[in-house]
Structure 1
Amino acid sequence: MRKFVIIHVLLFLTALAFSDTPWPYGLLLVAQLVYIPVLLRLVCTDRDWFWTYYPYVAIPAYTSVVLAQVVPTAWDGWMASFYGLFTLYVALYGIARFLRRGFTNLEEFAIDLGLVYLAMAGGWYVAFVAAIDLGFSPLLTWLTAIHFHYSAFILPIFIGWIGRLHSSRVYRWAVAALLASPMIVAVGITFSRWIEILSVLLYMYGICVIIWIVWRTFFASRLQKWLLRLAFSALAVTITFSMLYVLSNGFGLFSVTIDFMLRFHGVLNCVIFALVGLIGWSFSVPSARYAPPTFPRSQIRGRQVADEIGQVGKHRGLSDDLTVYGLSSASVSPLIIRFYEQTTDFRLSASVHWHRWFKPFAFVYSFISQRMQQINLPLRSETVDMTGNIYTLDEGLDDREQVRVWERKVGQQTIFTALYSQHETNERMYMNIALPLPYSTMTGVLELHAVNQGLRLTSKRTDLASDAGVYLSFNNKGLFTLPLQETFFIEQTGDRILQATHHMWIGSLPFLTIDYLIVYEGEDVEDR
């Protein structure tokens, strides 16, 4: 690592020494030749494809940046494209890093987005060097390139590392504001000073919260603590300059020039925030809290299960014994337990309610679901009868234990084909439900909780160690955490009657509610 840093520092000093450009150009140059490569070494710790092909894209990129500073030619625009391709390569790694994990661990997503944002920084740099007319002056194009290198690449990575040490709701809101701000700034510069002011206000809010968190966080050493406190505190000064500049440029309330911004705002961000912060993090980068899930997942894809269930036997229930989840007739209604253990003795009717904002998407999706015969829910909310059967499945096909295939239909249309199983992690039992999709499988891992003699099944985690969630898998290597949440609550409302409500959310937005009426049609109910 030390040799790597020395090489890039010498490369920067060489370019700076032989350059005839004004000193402010060094603010971008040091980010390109020192800060970015060093940060990549600290972030990309896996020795995978990124580092395998890194020299083939990085060496031409850094060479083109140096040549553009030292010996400007008519070919500089074409040379700058090497740097643009390099930033695209980094962005692809950010996307791949995100796809290995999905919508979980906001601090890791901040790092992912910083890597992706670098491609936008590269695009603005190419536009500046190649003198591409984007409707802005060359100076503004260059300033935007600097903006994306520092606030859209370096800052997200720094706050991502802070999130590995600190997790709270206030942190999540601050990160959301800081991650959205670079794009809002770009929109504001293009269309409206008011939008630009909004972006700066979001920055001020996010940065103030992060500074507060940094001063309350424990770090690996006293030296690292004070270096990072100094680095982040400098942002309080620079963001104040940003607000003054926006008010000066848009409304003439102050006299703040670009030269003033470069000398104070630019230098503080470059030296105090970026350099001191990078030195501080180099002492110890906190380990990621995210650990890939290791629970078993179904290997069934697409309509493969439809070809198998006809060759195996039928079964009565979704679970052989619900007590493995820590439930009993003392905590949950015996009729609910009977429903899961003798499901075919019950008759189901359902009313599907798509939330108004989601109905256009549900209509478009219906053309796909009718072909897949999976998650093929009615668009109308009238009550419909659901029929179907439960089958056993050869465990060698699925790789999970005690798999039960529940095929539900409305008329001749298959609504769901769900593969029920269970798994245990750290002495906690989960219901593991797989829905085969084309070339993939969606898996819902649910916690079961007794609530006033009713039963709640939920994908919402009760703690960080929980496996609960909704996941998408394409192969055996990883699980993509979807931004979906579901809760299914079932309770007894009569001697032979159960009622259940299934809620689903995208993030925190509800989009689907299904009300079930479940009637027992078997022999008389007896307490277990």
Structure 2
Amino acid sequence: MLVNLRSNLCSPVPLFGLVLSVVCYFFSPQPEYMMLLTVAQLIFVPTMVKMVIDFNKVGDAIVVVMMVTITMLHWWSEGWIAIILALIYVVYTAFIALQGVKRFLQRGFTNMAEISIDVGLIYIFIGGLWFFAFIANIDTGFSSLITWLTAIHFHYSACLLAISIGLFGRIHKSRWYNAVVVILLTGPLLVALGITFSTMLEIVSVTLYIVAIYSLFFLALKTKLPRGQGLLLRISYGSLCITILWSFMYAFGHVIGNAYVGIPEMLKFHGVINGVFFGSMGVLAWAILIPESKHQPFHFPVSQIRGKLRERKDPHPGLVDALSDFVETAKLPHVIPHFYEETNQYRLQASVKWKLWFKPFALIYQGLSRFMQQLNLPFSSKRIEMTGMIVKVDEQQDGRLAPRAWIRKIDKQTTFVAIYSKHTTGETTYMNIALPLPFSTMIGVLYLYEDNGDLHLTSNHAGDAGIYLAINRFLLRLPLHEHFVITAEDETTLTAIHKMRIFGVSFLQIDYQITRK
């Protein structure tokens, strides 16, 4: 424990921030309450960020420059020098936010704990912008003090809390935790919007935030943690259970026009407890032991084709060489494997059904899809014929095993260009489908299984299954899922239902009628 504390707290950069904080506390001409934000800028945020990002020497130098800048602002808090210094701080927060974006692009919408850390790193940039607005006296529509308090809000309640609950999520896993994280990550923005536009929204968002904070504290109580770390973390989260009530009383006072808690009380009680107990205890807790990330990088092959496919004219009979490579075909009607292995012998008719709530987005998207000639689905649900052909794709150009492209058209306009391949992880063989997009490729990795004589293909399964977006060297999982059900009507006819969801909500269904020519 002592070794970890020395490593995480006694390295040169955190110690430098501590020394500068002491200098500011004893010698700064600024009001004493200004230290609440300064301590977060010089100690809490840099220390927590360093726990989740492995900085090189350039990164450490950027942090040191920021620390000197914040210290100088205690003596040069007005005029053009102050604006330049505050702008340097904004650049620093943008650098930290960029690390959060890079982390996210390496995973995408998977692993809630790591997403929480990503969002915390991004939130610090918003805090930096509010701090700049305070120093530069920009008219935000609020008083100077409220602008400063909003900067504090995004340093503590957004950045520090998001990173802390992300680290906690590396230890604790549950659906309850996922719900708590969603509320706590969106809470800072909802509260800020409520303060700006609607007192009722402020009340609702603070109420949800209270429920999430108390739930987080309960989860911390029931989770087994090292003794010293567990005590400090529970003190940190427990202090939020107290201070959040003051936030509620402040917001409720605005609704009824009777200020039970004012800004001075918020500074003395809410601010000090958050700084001393939430901030310092939380940093100490994680400095004792930083949990390892449970996320495993993606290792399956990804198509290297970006943009428009350079077609080859060599025809290929089917989407797969043998459906038995993916699923046991003994219980499937013969027509199902035959369709996948001899796809060119079949005709497709399709009915595209957009969900009502998604239709405005589908209408807007159509202009882009026609230009890309990809995922170019009609807006109407009228049954139409899809013509198509399957051609070989250069294996060296694609980078995967035996790729072949299924090019489907409606009225001579390209609807889909899907490049089929496969890969095996462990004992499972997945269908690996690439849809080239401008400067990127969408990847659908599908798991196949048989159920009551029907063939199911789904992205919603353990292992590699999922829908991904490949951009440059990044591969991120998207919040999309698709599920196909292939049913044999007779020896020459199939029906297929293709359902798609985003964030678990259905937005598209395509019904296919497939008949042998």
TM-score bracket relative to the smaller structure = over 0.9
Say yes or no: does 1:125 pair with 2:107.
no
Q: State the match for 2:368 in structure 1.
A: 368
Which amino acid in the other structure matches residue 288 of structure 1? S
Say yes or no: does 1:257 pair with 2:262.
yes
Q: State the match for 2:20 in structure 1.
A: 11
Further displaced range: 441-450 or 82-91: 82-91
Further displaced range: 90-99 or 495-504: 90-99
Helix, strand or coil: the match of 2:389? strand
Counterpart contact for 2:495–2:512, Cα < 8 Å? yes
Q: State the match for 2:4 in structure 1.
A: none
Structure 1, gaps ≥5 residues long: 522-528
Q: Partners in 1 of 2:362 and 2:197 — Cα distance?
A: 34
Query: What is the CA deviation profile of residues 105-135 of structure 1, one whole-angstrom value per residue up to 9, with x for unaligned ones?
Result: 2221211111111111111212222222222
Aligned pair in 2 of structure 1 residues 490, 72: CA closer, same or farther (>3 Å)?
Answer: closer
Say yes or no: does 1:65 pair with 2:70.
yes
Helix, strand or coil: the match of 1:304? coil
Q: Partners in 2 of 1:302 and 1:192 — Cα distance?
A: 44
Q: Partners in 2 of 1:383 and 1:491 — Cα distance?
A: 18
Counterpart contact for 1:18–1:70, Cα < 8 Å? no
Q: State the match for 2:3 in structure 1.
A: none
Aligned pair in 2 of structure 1 residues 373, 129: CA closer, same or farther (>3 Å)?
Answer: closer
Q: Partners in 1 of 2:99 and 2:507 — Cα distance?
A: 32
Further displaced range: 56-65 or 260-269: 56-65
Aligned pair in 2 of structure 1 residues 403, 78: CA closer, same or farther (>3 Å)?
Answer: closer
Q: Partners in 1 of 2:125 and 2:409 — Cα distance?
A: 47
User: Which of 464, 483, 489 is the matching residue for 1:487?
Assistant: 483
Aligned pair in 2 of structure 1 residues 370, 188: CA closer, same or farther (>3 Å)?
Answer: closer
TM-score (norm 1): 0.92
Helix, strand or coil: the match of 1:377? coil
Aligned pair in 2 of structure 1 residues 391, 25: CA closer, same or farther (>3 Å)?
Answer: same
Which amino acid in the other structure matches residue 288 of structure 2? F
Say yes or no: does 1:164 pair with 2:170.
yes
Query: May I ask how many residue pairs the two structures share in their alignment?
Result: 507
Helix, strand or coil: the match of 1:296? coil
Query: What is the CA deviation profile of residues 283-332 of structure 1, one whole-angstrom value per residue up to 9, with x for unaligned ones?
Result: 111111222211011112222332xx21x3x22221111112231222x2
Q: State the match for 1:182 in structure 2.
A: 188
Aligned pair in 2 of structure 1 residues 246, 373: CA closer, same or farther (>3 Å)?
Answer: closer
Q: State the match for 1:526 in structure 2.
A: none
Q: Partners in 2 of 1:8 and 1:124 — Cα distance?
A: 21
- 1:396-415 alignment to 2 at 5 Å? 396-415=396-415
Counterpart contact for 1:352–1:514, Cα < 8 Å? yes
Which amino acid in the other structure matches residue 11 of structure 1? L
Helix, strand or coil: the match of 1:467? coil
Counterpart contact for 1:393–1:405, Cα < 8 Å? yes
Q: Partners in 1 of 2:382 and 2:260 — Cα distance?
A: 65
Q: State the match for 1:525 in structure 2.
A: none
User: Which of 238, 243, 249 is the matching residue for 1:238?
Assistant: 243
Q: Partners in 1 of 2:154 and 2:250 — Cα distance?
A: 18
- 1:134-213 alignment to 2 at 5 Å? 134-213=140-219
Q: Partners in 1 of 2:363 and 2:428 — Cα distance?
A: 39
Q: Partners in 2 of 1:196 and 1:370 — Cα distance?
A: 42
Query: What is the CA deviation profile of residues 256-282 of structure 1, one whole-angstrom value per residue up to 9, with x for unaligned ones?
Result: 232222222111111111101110101
Q: Partners in 1 of 2:171 and 2:376 — Cα distance?
A: 43
1:64 CA drift (Å) = 2.3
- 1:468-487 alignment to 2 at 5 Å? 468-475=465-472, 477-487=473-483
Q: Partners in 1 of 2:176 and 2:77 — Cα distance?
A: 48
Counterpart contact for 1:352–1:383, Cα < 8 Å? yes
Say yes or no: does 1:109 pair with 2:115.
yes
Aligned pair in 2 of structure 1 residues 471, 71: CA closer, same or farther (>3 Å)?
Answer: closer
Further displaced range: 441-450 or 59-68: 59-68
Q: Partners in 2 of 1:343 and 1:255 — Cα distance?
A: 72
- Large movers: runs of 4+ above 4 Å: none
Counterpart contact for 2:334–2:491, Cα < 8 Å? no
Which amino acid in the other structure matches residue 167 of structure 2? W
Q: Partners in 2 of 1:104 and 1:254 — Cα distance?
A: 43
Further displaced range: 385-394 or 177-186: 385-394
Aligned pair in 2 of structure 1 residues 72, 435: CA closer, same or farther (>3 Å)?
Answer: closer
Which amino acid in the other structure matches residue 300 of structure 2? F
User: Which of 482, 486, 499 is the matching residue for 1:503?
Assistant: 499
Counterpart contact for 2:77–2:135, Cα < 8 Å? no
Which amino acid in the other structure matches residue 487 of structure 2? E
Which amino acid in the other structure matches residue 206 of structure 1? A
Counterpart contact for 2:240–2:274, Cα < 8 Å? yes
Which amino acid in the other structure matches residue 431 of structure 2? M
1:55 CA drift (Å) = 4.7
Counterpart contact for 1:329–1:337, Cα < 8 Å? no
Which amino acid in the other structure matches residue 35 of structure 2? G
Say yes or no: does 1:514 pair with 2:510.
yes
Which amino acid in the other structure matches residue 139 of structure 1? L
Aligned pair in 2 of structure 1 residues 323, 440: CA closer, same or farther (>3 Å)?
Answer: same
Aligned pair in 2 of structure 1 residues 340, 79: CA closer, same or farther (>3 Å)?
Answer: same
Q: Partners in 2 of 1:418 and 1:71 — Cα distance?
A: 60
Q: Quote the RMSD (CA, aligned, Å).
A: 1.8
Q: State the match for 2:333 in structure 1.
A: 333
Percentage identity across aligned positions? 42
Query: What is the CA deviation profile of residues 438-478 of structure 1, one whole-angstrom value per residue up to 9, with x for unaligned ones?
Result: 222111000111111001101112x3xx1011111133x33
Say yes or no: does 1:99 pair with 2:105.
yes
Q: State the match for 1:227 in structure 2.
A: 232
Q: State the match for 1:41 in structure 2.
A: 50
Which amino acid in the other structure matches residue 44 of structure 1? I
- 1:206-355 alignment to 2 at 5 Å? 206-219=212-225, 221-252=226-257, 255-306=260-311, 309-310=312-313, 312=314, 314-330=315-331, 332-355=332-355
Say yes or no: does 1:89 pair with 2:85.
no
1:177 CA drift (Å) = 0.9
